[in-house]
Amino acid sequence: MAAKAFVLIETAVGRSKEVVVALKELKGVASVDTVTGPYDVIAIVQGETLNNIGDNPPRPQIPIRPSPPMARRIGKPMTK
């Protein structure tokens, strides 16, 4: 069964485009969209299982931490 995680990202002001471009290049990222509201970007990450998604975060390519360009990340894993 395929697994999917919705990653909600708050970026630093003016940095959403940079974050979207970087995320689109990562393996396992199915889609990335800018949105309005409390978060600036939503990424959908897919893998065989939730463990695959959790064990292989995209940290080597883009640092995900509470600092610019991304201010905060909350992921909600979901399965099909």
Q: What is the pLDDT of residues 34-44, one digit of tens each?
A: 999 889 999 99
Domain with residue 50: its CATH number is 3.30.70.920
Q: How many domains does the chain have?
A: 1
Burial of 4 (0-12, 13-18, 19+ CB in 10 A): middle
Tens of pLDDT, residues 14-69: 889 998 998 898 888 999 999 998 899 999 988 888 777 766 544 434 445 544 45
- φ/ψ region of 14 (left if φ > 0, alpha if ψ in -120 to 50, else beta) reads left
Closest among 54, 61, 52 to 76, alpha carbons compared: 54
d(CA 20, CA 31): 9
- The residue segments making up the domain with residue 14 are 3-79
Residue 79's DSSP bridge partners are 3
Burial of 77 per CB tally in 10 Å (0-12, 13-18, 19+):
middle
